[in-house]
Amino acid sequence: MPTVYFIDADGNQFEADAENGSSVMEAAVDNFIDGIVGECGGVLSCATCHCYVDKKWEDKLEPASEQEEDMLDMAIEPKENSRLSCQIELNDELDGLVVHLPKSQF
What's the pLDDT at 106? 81
Alpha-carbon Rg for the chain, nearest whole angstrom, is 12
Along the 106 residues of the chain, how does pLDDT read in single tens digits?
A: 999 999 999 999 999 999 999 999 999 999 999 999 999 999 999 999 999 999 999 999 999 999 999 999 999 999 999 999 999 999 999 999 999 999 999 8
User: Could you give the domains of the chain?
Assistant: 3-99 (3.10.20.30)
CA distance 99 to 24: 9
Regarding beta strands 97-100 and 3-7, do their DSSP bridges make them parallel or antiparallel, or are they unpaired?
parallel
